[in-house]
Amino acid sequence: MEGDIAQMGQFIGAGLAAIGSGAAAIGVGHVAGNFLAGALRNPSAAGGQTATLFIGIAFAEALGIFAFLVALLLMFAV
Amino acid sequence: MADAPEGGGLVFKPMDQFKLADLFGSSDIGMLTLTNSTLWMAFSVLAIALFMVAGTRGRAMVPSRVQSMAEMTYGFVYNMVIDVSGKDAARYFPYIMTLFMFILFANFLALIPMSFSPTSQFAVTGVLAISVFVTVLVIGFAKNGLGFLSLFWITSAPAVVRPILAVIEFILFWMRPVSHAVRLGGAILAGHALLKVFAGFAQITLAAPLALLGVIAIYALEVLVAGIQAYVFTILTCVYLKDALHPHH
């Protein structure tokens, strides 16, 4: 047996934190999908809303990146 | 079967590319050390200067390629500032243009093989985000006085939940520089680390062609991400600036 229980916890924690990336992917997909659904109903109004789309995606993505950051901290900073 | 390197397993060192190093080989890195990060930031500033000088030198009626690129970038950022923050934000356009160009060029130059990505350093993105945060605070209080605090008092919500919302909004306000910095830094860091991980799979002879395809695909994605992250950082700056100029919901 190499390593110790703390290292095991570190790796398991990093793996669990990676689930957050998947959750963020669901969020981003939701934003983009709903935008597309709305845009296809009223294409003339869609062009003016791309900024809102990107803001929405950015906010959804931020939390996924926090999860990634937790994984990074566990792997390299603990 | 597979040609694994000595020691049995595959060797992945995705984080080595983010190591700061003194340009002159000294090992202690202090506040004013010239590092590879400094070098690549200087390169991006130089590239922006070249791009804009070359773009504005001719001022032809029928623009050359460089000139129309420079004009399009200028117009793109200017329209973004006006659309998102309002007409009176045009005063702050130079600041936002500077941010956008710096991040965009730093992101793109970082995609050159063997280069260094300054925007993957949370110190760099953190300073950019804190400068935005301080700018918003200063402009907000200078323009509206204590009326800036009405940012936290959402009048469109029912009166009962307003105090709770005020607390949440207040915490969110202080989280802004963190998420602003980590979003840019994290996206670039993750992308570049992913590139190296895929490149690491080339250690298995059979998987090498697949690894090559993977690297190409991730690289294409990274080109997209480099542009989008610069855009997102700038547009969030515009959103925060709008809050400073018009804090009333």
A10-57: per-residue pLDDT in tens?
A: 889 999 998 998 999 999 999 999 999 999 999 898 888 888 888 888
Number of inter-chain CB pairs under 8 A, A vs B = 36
Nearest partner of B192 among B40, B7, B23, B35, judged by Cα: B40
The per-residue pLDDT of chain B, averaged, comes to 88
Candidates B182, B187, B231; nearest CB to A54: B231
Nearest to B183 among A51, A61, A76 (CB): A61
Does A25 contact B at CB distance below 8 Å?
A: no
A12 domain residue, yes or no: no
* A51 belongs to a structural domain: yes
Is A73 a member of any domain?
A: yes
A63 found inside a domain: yes
Q: Is residue A34 part of a domain?
A: yes
User: C-alpha distances in angstroms, B213 versus B10, B96, B108, B122, B219?
Assistant: 19, 37, 21, 30, 10
A8 belongs to a structural domain = no
User: Is A70 part of any domain?
Assistant: yes
Distance from CA of B236 to the nearest CA of A (A): 7
The model's pTM is 0.85
Per the structure, the count of domains in chain A is: 1
Do B83 and A51 form a contact (C-beta atoms < 8 A)? yes
The 10s digit of each residue's pLDDT in B167-208 is: 998 988 998 898 899 889 988 988 898 888 888 888 888 888
ipTM of the shown complex: 0.72
Write the pLDDT tens digit of every residue in B110-120: 999 888 999 99
pLDDT of residue B159: 86
CB-based contact B124:B99 (threshold 8 Å) = no
Q: Which residues lie closer than 8 Å to B193 by C-beta, 6 or more apart?
A: B14, B15, B17
- Quick check: A61 contacting B, CB < 8 Å? yes
Tens digits of per-residue pLDDT, A69-78? 788 888 877 7
Residue range B101-128: average pLDDT? 92
Q: Tell if the CB–CB gap between A57 and B15 is shorter than 8 Å.
A: no
- Number of neighbouring beta carbons within 10 Å of residue B52: 17
Tokens, residue B177:
């520089």
What domain range includes position A31?
A: 17-77
Query: A65–B190: do the CB atoms touch at under 8 Å?
Result: yes
Q: Closest chain B residue to A66 measured between Cα atoms?
A: B182
Can you tell me the mean pLDDT for B221-226? Answer: 90
B15: chain A residues, CB-CB within 8 Å: 76
Which residue of chain B has the CA closest to A54? B232
In a domain, A24, yes or no: yes
Q: Do B91 and B29 touch, CB atoms closer than 8 A?
A: no
CATH number (domain holding residue A28): 1.20.20
